Amino acid sequence: MHKHLELTHVRNERKRNHDSAGIADIHEHTSLRTFLTLDRTTFENVQPTPKRQKKQHADATGIALVKLKPKKRATRASILCLPDELLLIILECLGRDVRTLCSLARTCHRIYRLCTLDLIWRPVTAGLYRPTTRRHVKCYGQAPQNDLLSFLRNLACSDYCFRCGVKATSKTELGAMGEKVLEVLSRRYCKGCQSTEFINKTDAKERFLVTEKQLGAAKYVPKPWYGKQSYLYLESTIEQLSLERWGSERALKEAKSERKPRNKTPRDFWHKFYDPFFYEYFDDHRYILPPYFGPPATSAQTNAITVHHPAANVTVSKTTDTAGVITFGNVSVNISIGAPNPTSGVSHHNHQAVVGSGSGSGPGSSSGPAGAQGYVAVNGGGAYFSLSVNVAGGW
Amino acid sequence: MSDPANITLVTMDGTTFTVPSAYLHRSKLVQDWLRSEGDKQAMEVKHVTPFVLQGVLNFCEIHAEDTSEPLADPADPTKPFEADPRDDAFRGMPDDQLLQFTMAADILQIPELVRLTAQEMASRIDGKSPDQIRAMFNPDDLAEEDVDSDNEMGEVGEEGAISK
């Protein structure tokens, strides 16, 4: 690593030329370019500013509102007595709290210069890239090596994803919720991170057991959802609220185990209908099953062959007595050629033509209760030809 | 190198402290002084008040028997800081004294004490607003033009601040 990039080196440098070095050049020598780095020229060419005329703010009575007290010489110990290297040690001990660093930087000019050192912000940035807890990895990829402050600033505003640091280059990459998220949380999440970082209200209540009252104070992203509005919360926020309520993760887990699971339809509701044993119940109790639960209809003869043409919905059955049954959907035509059937010979002899009324009982006819049937039989001596048309009604 | 049993320290106002030299084996300043040539009557410690020096010597007395490696770097991030129950008295002191102790520790170059006080100061600064920090450690002892530019700087810093 470069020598200048070590904070220890900065401290030693400060110690060595304590008197000669001005404060301004600490950035010059050691810091990488940051957006907060003061411009060199402004300090080199600066003239000692003339003392401003101190204004006496006086009201009508003439009493000075602002007292001009003479500058005191160190009545109290000040943090500014400490040398830079000691201040840097303190800054290093501060850790990764960004808020503290910023508020410390606002206290005075000299500390501000130290606080804006790029090296001070390195652990902060590195902390973003390292898993702080086992569950959350805040950012992916490699942490930036320089220009950390501008990186952090960009991260905080819109064009980088706060979690993964991916820069949005187009408006579509902002995602549908991008604008709203930016507005509410003042940071941006890319599409992928939005799906993992956000949690809706129902899930928040169910998984983290937070109350409605707690959620009222939390920031949320309103999301249109089927004409209604759904509330998206940051998962980390919800986790924090849950910790506030339950104290620890363990307590939350215990509380969750004590609660009854929500009464809702099991996902495998339909599975029982696929279970063959489910229907045994109906058999045992002599329920009358609707016909489609029954066995598929087969012709009376065991040695019958049925050919089905699926495209035309035509079924041709051949039996031993060479009868052909042609079925078109609800219409079936029964053709039988051969020797007279002794069982049905009586009805064939009469040259009957019966139309309507379900009295017909042709061989292999499968007419339903509301079916219509036409029946023609020609008896020519020894040979026998019969044609029957069945129109099966609905079930 | 002569190693006297006792070392006499003189503070800024002439008060003298005589302590066994084993107490100060952590102080790099004293060690350098012992190694150097010349008159070894009394060592003058400037910028340190007797009260503070007394406190520092108490610290040294407490930690005289410590056998741990002397710290090379007071802010070594690889070695996590663990609070020593013997140092509770140092942690409870008011802010002004804490600053003076930090200063004295830096002058005497005792890395353990520097670390202790820096950690303590850091923990006091942690989570405070700028005004609270100003009230605590009084960094606003500035010339007027400094104060003005300080305010401008503060605004910039506020914008750059990241809400976490």
| Least CB–CB distance from B74: residue in A89, A156, A186 | A89
Regarding beta strands B16-20 and B43-44, do their DSSP bridges make them parallel or antiparallel, or are they unpaired?
unpaired
* pLDDT tens string A144-203: 777 777 777 766 665 667 776 666 666 666 666 667 777 787 777 777 778 888 888 888
Q: pLDDT tier at A338 (50, 70, 90 boundaries)?
A: low
> If residue B17 lies in a helix (H) or strand (E), which one and from where to where?
strand B16-20
Closest CA to A80 of B138, B114, B102, B109: B138
Amino acid at B36: S
Task: Look at A10 and A314; give whichever has higher pLDDT.
Answer: A10
Which of 3.50.50.60, 3.30.750.24, 3.30.230.80, 3.30.710.10 is the CATH number of B6-61+79-141? 3.30.710.10
Q: Which chain A residues are within 8 Å of B134, Cβ to Cβ? A: 107-108
Q: How far apart are CA A211 and CA A242, in angstroms?
A: 9
Kindly identify which residue of chain A lies nearest to residue B118, measuring between CA atoms.
A90
Among A128-137, A227-236, A249-258, B118-127, name the one with the lowest average pLDDT: A128-137
Share of residues in chain A with pLDDT > 90 (%): 0
From the list B96, B142, B157, the residue facing A102 with the nearest CB is B157
Indicate the pairing of strand A228-234 with strand A372-380: unpaired
Mean pLDDT of the region B100-128: 86
**Interface check A12 vs B, CB under 8 A:** no
**A200 vs A80, A203, A231, A270, B65, CA distance in Å?**
49, 5, 6, 28, 59
More confident residue, A294 or A330: A330
pLDDT digits (tens, 9 = 90+) for A46-65: 344 444 444 444 444 444 44
Quick one: which of A347, A336, A390 has its CA closest to A368? A390
Nearest-Å Rg of the Cα atoms of chain A is 45
User: Residue B70's closest CA among B120, B118, B119, B28?
Assistant: B28
CA dihedral (B76, B80, B86, B92) in degrees, to 10, reads: 80
CA separation for the pair A15, B47 (Å, rounded): 17
| CA distance from start to end of chain B | 56
Residue B32: strand, helix, or coil: helix
| Residues 123-162 in B contacting A (C-alpha not used; CB under 8 Å) | 123, 125-130, 133-134, 137-146, 149-150, 153-154, 156-158, 160-162
Query: Does residue A372 have a pLDDT over 60?
Result: no
Mean of the pLDDT values across residues A264-282? Answer: 67
Q: Which residues of B touch A7 (CB under 8 A)?
A: 75
> In this predicted model, what pLDDT tens digit does every residue of A11-58 receive, in sequence order?
777 666 555 544 445 554 444 333 333 333 333 333 444 444 444 444
* pLDDT tens readout for residues A90-123: 888 886 677 788 888 888 778 888 888 888 888 7
Confidence of residue A67 (pLDDT cuts 50, 70, 90): very low
Domain segments of chain B: what residues? 6-61+79-141
Residue A359, pLDDT score: 38
For the ranges A233-242, A260-269, A330-339, B91-100, the lowest mean pLDDT is seen at A330-339
The answer, for A81 touching chain B at a CB cutoff of 8 Å, is yes
Q: Is A378 a residue whose pLDDT tops 60?
A: no
pLDDT of B151: 42
Which numeric CATH code is attached to A161-258?
Answer: 3.90.530
The bridge status of strand B16-20 relative to strand A314-318 is unpaired
Residue-level pLDDT at B163: 40
Strand partners of residue A378: A385
Predicted confidence (pLDDT) per residue in A353-368, tens digit: 333 333 334 444 444 4
Cβ A188 vs Cβ A178: under 8 Å: yes
Reduce the DSSP state of residue B20 to 3 states and report it. Answer: strand
∠ CA B157-A157-A235, rounded to 5°: 110
Helices assigned H by DSSP within B24-143: 28-35, 50-62, 88-91, 95-108, 111-125, 130-137
Contact A23/B at CB under 8 A: no
Q: Of B147 and A259, which is predicted with more confidence?
A: A259
Instruction: Report phi then psi at A378, rounded to 5.
Output: -115, 125
pLDDT digits (tens, 9 = 90+) for B54-113: 888 888 888 887 777 777 777 666 666 777 778 888 888 888 888 888 888 888 888 888
User: How sure is the predictor about B20, in pLDDT bands with cuts at 50, 70 and 90?
Assistant: confident
The predicted pLDDT at position A141 comes to: 63
| Cα distance between residue A138 and residue A131, in whole Å | 6
d(CA A277, CA A284): 11
List pLDDT tens digits, range A196-241: 888 888 888 888 889 999 888 888 888 877 878 888 898 888 988 8
Of A268-272, A276-280, B85-89, B151-155, least confident by mean pLDDT is B151-155
Tell me what pLDDT residue B145 has.
Answer: 40
Amino acid B139: pLDDT: 62
Strands A372-380 and A383-391 come out as: antiparallel
Domain map (residue ranges) of chain A:
1-40+79-156, 161-258, 305-391
- Output the six-digit token pair for B155: 């605004």
C-alpha distances in Å from residue A37, one per residue of A41, A67, A147, B50, B122: 12, 35, 10, 41, 24
Higher pLDDT, A330 or A222: A222
Chain B environment of A8 (Cβ under 8 Å)? 73
Confidence of residue A349 (pLDDT cuts 50, 70, 90): very low
User: What is the per-residue pLDDT for A225?
Assistant: 77
Quote the pLDDT of residue B11. 80
Query: Does residue A93 belong to the interface with chain B, where contact is any CB pair within 8 Å?
Result: yes
Q: Which region among A131-140, A339-348, B48-57, B66-75 has the lowest average model confidence (pLDDT)?
A: A339-348
Specify which residues A322 forms β-bridges with. Answer: none
Q: What percent of chain A has pLDDT over 70?
A: 39
